[in-house]
A and B are shown apart, each in its own frame.
Chain A
């Protein structure tokens, strides 16, 4: 049972604020992923929780106890660094048992814990090796093992997979998810990769410029992004955005918007938030646009990317805006071809001038 709670946490360096008042609760046994572009403050936030940086103002509560002034090692947390940060002069077993040794735990018990962690991570045969003699993936596992033996309340991961090659990254992603299920531990995971966030997280925290943009389950964020930033950040390929204005507000909450090329779309929106003539942005994901035989928005194909299982079309619509469409891999569409696009009204997102969504959000995504 471990929760982490941040209340109005701020961090500034020499008067420059990088974390601008974060309120967040990390729930027990969940894998929470902090995601955002580089410089958004996600790593700093993790280091504040770890105690490697000092909180400028606000409160950090670990299991309801204020932990601002608790020494890093006493917080009951373990961190896995991006560079692994293994102790190069110690072998794998010593790397893992260092914290236990410092805590004065007797050798037999230390060995037992190390063996157990090694078993979980398939490291039994490497215990005598120095980090130098390990592959990237093995080093990564040692770093995780070092965290496991401490039996921490919360595991912290700081971009742990970004030094691995693509194939290994996918495998470690699965292993970490499995590990999380196996240990039933609270984990905080920092990454800049939205795919990692989507695939691993129980809950995602999207950060930008030191502010939390949205918190929610992966599918909630995918379906109900609260603003343009989250909409554009989550999902790959990126959501398409088109400038538009509201042409008509209909009964029952729907609106009709006019795109820059004159086409009109009807979008379900929230009552009372829109008035005719308002400038808005319409968003739609590439996978929610399909090709129609006729009667759609006409567009010209610029490039076609074949990925085998699927294809991406990059299209120009009459307004000059560029759209990406995801279709099946067997498409015969070629560059310069004229096509007609169909967009499902239910899949359309509508954002106001400030970039906030105009659709009603399910209450679970605060």
Chain B
């Protein structure tokens, strides 16, 4: 049976246009998000505010009664402390060198491990191993069993080829730390870049080969441009972690000799839990935060782009 449109439109409740999302829906969705968001908010905001507050106060845990507003006292004290400049310099050196080593070597190794060879799966697992070793273990083992100038494995190797063993932590403590951290993080760079290399469309490589691209041209024109994004991501993630390097220094050099291997993290630790100077530690903490934020600025921009993709 067929009814006309006019008939259909009768006995209909007149209704007005609606835009409003149903109230229950929005509340439901909101209640799913709120716990995580508020937890993160509290975690990120309250300590930060406290750090800022403490940075203006005279506050030493050893003399808890002698607190009070100190204006820019802590800032004046810390910013003129030569150890701060040294710590910042060490931090930059540490982050920069480890980045250069891991990204540079990582790219080469990624291309190497992308090739077909016998036992590739197992070899890849071996390369990956250092990344999962807890930092305190790596640091201790490198310091005592590998880099020890007397009975370390490196010393033995150097002696056997007729060289004089290096007293790593005496002569070049920061270099030693750089080597340890680079060893820990090289696998991550390799793995990330390898993943990126493998995500390269096989047909594109074949097309390039048909166009006459040799191995070098292939790397230069096909693989390298494709890696750009992965390299950027790796650089940024690593920077976050490298800025906060602590355990490796804590276990090996305790920042010494003197301040030779003290980075910002360790400097703050020194102020806070070795000298109990809350105010000073807070100012140094703010310096670290500012430094991280400069980096973060670049980071976020790049990740925002990824979100769109």
Contact = CB atoms under 8 A, between A and B. Distances in A.
A contacting B, Cβ–Cβ less than 8 Å: yes
Interface of A: 3, 5, 7, 25, 27-28, 54-59, 61, 64-66, 68-69
A27 B7 CA distance: 12
Nearest to A56: B19
Given A61-B8, A65-B13, A66-B13, 4 more contacts: A3-B8, A27-B2, A64-B11, A69-B22
A162 B65 CA distance: 78
Given A3-B8, A27-B2, A27-B3, A68 B19 contact: no
Given A27-B2, A54-B21, A68 B15 contact: yes
Nearest to A55: B18
B12 interface: yes
A358 B309 CA distance: 48
Interface in B5-32: 5, 8-9, 11-13, 15, 17-19, 21-22
A59 B16 CA distance: 8
Contacts of B18: 55, 57, 68-69
A59 B14 CA distance: 9
Contacts of B11: 64
B305 to A, nearest CB: 20
Given A3-B8, A25-B5, A66 B19 contact: no
A330 B243 CA distance: 80
B1 interface: yes
Contact-size category for B: 10 to 19
B157 to A, nearest CB: 54
A25 B17 contact: no
Given A5-B9, A66-B12, A57 B1 contact: no
B21 A59 contact: no
B15 A64 contact: no
Contacts of A58: 17
Contacts of A28: 1-3
A90 B12 CA distance: 41
B301 to A, nearest CB: 23
A49 to B, nearest CB: 15
A8 to B, nearest CB: 9
Nearest to A12: B19
B26 to A, nearest CB: 12
B5 A64 contact: no
A144 B308 CA distance: 35
Nearest to B4: A25
**Which 7 residue pairs spanning A and B have beta carbons closest together?**
A57-B17, A66-B15, A25-B5, A59-B15, A66-B13, A68-B18, A64-B12
A28 B11 CA distance: 17
A55 B20 CA distance: 10
10 contacts: A5-B8, A25-B8, A27-B3, A28-B3, A55-B18, A56-B17, A58-B17, A59-B15, A61-B8, A69-B22
A59 B8 CA distance: 13
B286 to A, nearest CB: 40
A152 to B, nearest CB: 19
Contacts of A5: 8-9, 12
A69 B21 CA distance: 9
Nearest to A59: B15
Contacts of B19: 56-57
Nearest to B10: A64
Nearest to A66: B15
A55 B15 CA distance: 13
B19 to A, nearest CB: 6
A27 to B, nearest CB: 6
Nearest to A9: B17
A65 B18 CA distance: 15
A27 B13 CA distance: 19
A140 B214 CA distance: 47
Contact of B8 (A55, A64, A68): A64
A54 B17 CA distance: 11
